[in-house]
């Protein structure tokens, strides 16, 4: 499923009334109707690369392993960047320019071998007044000096600048968007309303520079990098069943050029409320995938207990899907993102290696939610 995506609960809390009084009239969430996700809608590009402000929640999500090309070289590093947009409940025709109709959040994290903890940074702002923007015609997102923009050549520019890290990447698409679910209508639960519009771009060819400090006090040291990045774009107004505890999600790049998306939504009693898998070859032709009973099985192999949250995370997992059995091992265990002081949630999202019958066959990202506390979206 592409996103917690981590800033979401903070945004929903703000939208529900924790927001400062920016105008004399309060949001009318009882009368406002957010747009519904329906299977009849056909996605159209480049329009659907852009923002969808009539829907409650939306995210643009990048994950990948980047190979360092300059000295001092490392084998590879994990990368994650996410931009979020959340509608607050203010009517879109509200005349006050101070009515915060849309909120924007962004999060970036690096998994560096030898550091054993993520290097991370985040931003938040309301849309408008020069603070943040999200174009409705194409991907053009900005929060301060952070941005994600797509150009006419189908190349994305990701720019992130912070005291802890800096990212400057160009990400070229060579395939059209991969529509998840049923032509982009992606179910997340037993009721059809529990769905999103969801597409992926599994193989963005990325190159540029990433900077981080080798010690906590050192200056940022830029390194040239190249690799492949997984891109998800998803939007919805209702997502999870009331009985949902959380989800496990993977986006995996395989050495044969194929790519696997898989997720399960877990119930509070450990049951699986919904599951999905789609395995495509290098031309994005479906090898295996649908939404049905036991299409994918997530089997924990090893847990890591966080000394901060106390949560026990299944950081190593075995996946059974399409008649194959693959295993996921993290680049390091502590890829927990503890945002209880801001978003109110704690989740695990990290870079993993993929093996099959003891042989390395790929790498990707694993996201785990609902192990520290139940997700309430």
Among 215-229, 256-270, 353-367, top mean pLDDT goes to 353-367
Calculate ∠ Cα 197-199-203, nearest 5°: 165
| Cα(92)–Cα(238) distance, integer angstroms | 19
Would you say how long the chain is, in residues? 377
pTM for this one? Answer: 0.88
pLDDT of residue 339: 63
pLDDT for the residue 241: 78
**Of all residues in the chain, what percent carry a pLDDT higher than 90?**
62
Q: What is the pLDDT of residues 20-79, one digit of tens each?
A: 222 223 344 434 578 999 999 999 999 999 999 999 999 999 999 999 998 777 789 999
Side-chain-side CA neighbours of residue 96 (13 Å): 13
Instruction: For residue range 112-127, list pLDDT tens digits in order.
Output: 988 889 999 988 888 8
244 falls in which pLDDT band (50, 70, 90)? confident
Task: Decide which of 4 and 174 is more confident.
Answer: 174
Euclidean distance between CA atoms 66 and 69, whole angstroms: 9
Token pair 């989740």 is found at 347
Q: Which two tokens stand for residue 111?
A: 């998994």
- Count of CB atoms situated within 10 Å of the CB of 205: 14
Run of H or E residues at 8? helix 8-13
Domain 8-368 belongs in CATH node 3.80.10.10: no
Bridge partners of 236? Answer: 57
pLDDT averaged over every residue in the chain: 85
Structure tokens at 193: 């309303």
DSSP 8-state code for residue 45? T
Residue 100 has pLDDT above 80, yes or no: no
Rounded-to-integer distance, Cα 376 and Cα 3, Å: 14
């Amino acid at each position: 499923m592409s996103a917690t995506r981590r800033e979401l609960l903070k945004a929903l809390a703000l939208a529900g009334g924790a927001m400062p009084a920016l105008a004399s009239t309060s949001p009318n969430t009882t009368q406002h109707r957010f747009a519904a996700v329906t299977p009849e809608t056909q996605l159209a590009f480049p329009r659907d690369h852009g923002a969808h402000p009539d829907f409650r929640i939306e995210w643009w999500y990048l994950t990948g392993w980047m190979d360092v090309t300059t000295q001092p070289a490392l084998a590879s590093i994990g990368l994650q960047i996410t931009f979020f947009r959340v509608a607050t409940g203010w009517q879109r025709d509200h005349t006050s320019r101070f009515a915060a109709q849309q909120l924007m959040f962004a999060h970036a994290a690096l998994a560096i071998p030898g550091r054993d903890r993520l290097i991370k940074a985040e931003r938040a702002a309301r849309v408008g007044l020069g603070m943040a923007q999200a174009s409705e015609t194409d991907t053009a997102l900005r929060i301060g000096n952070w941005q994600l923009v797509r150009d006419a050549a189908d190349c994305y520019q990701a720019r992130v600048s912070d005291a802890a890290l800096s990212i400057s990447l160009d990400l070229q698409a060579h395939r059209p968007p991969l529509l998840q679910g049923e032509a982009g209508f992606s179910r997340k639960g037993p009721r059809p309303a529990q769905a999103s519009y969801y597409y992926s771009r599994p193989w963005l060819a990325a190159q540029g520079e990433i900077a981080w400090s080798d010690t906590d006090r050192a200056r940022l040291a830029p390194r040239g990098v190249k690799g492949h990045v997984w891109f998800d774009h998803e939007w919805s107004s209702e997502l999870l069943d009331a009985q949902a505890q959380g989800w496990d999600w993977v986006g995996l790049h395989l050495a044969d050029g194929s790519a696997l998306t898989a997720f399960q939504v877990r119930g509070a009693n450990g049951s699986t409320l919904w599951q999905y898998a789609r395995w495509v070859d290098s031309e994005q032709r479906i090898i295996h995938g649908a939404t049905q009973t036991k299409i994918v099985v997530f089997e924990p192999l090893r847990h890591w207990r966080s000394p901060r949250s106390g949560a026990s995370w299944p950081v190593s997992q075995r996946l059974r899907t399409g008649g194959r059995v693959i295993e996921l091992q993290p680049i390091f265990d502590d890829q927990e993102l503890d945002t209880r002081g801001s978003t109110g949630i704690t989740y695990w999202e990290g870079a993993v290696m993929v093996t099959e019958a003891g042989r390395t066959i790929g790498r990707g990202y694993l996201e785990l939610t609902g192990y520290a506390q139940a997700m309430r979206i």
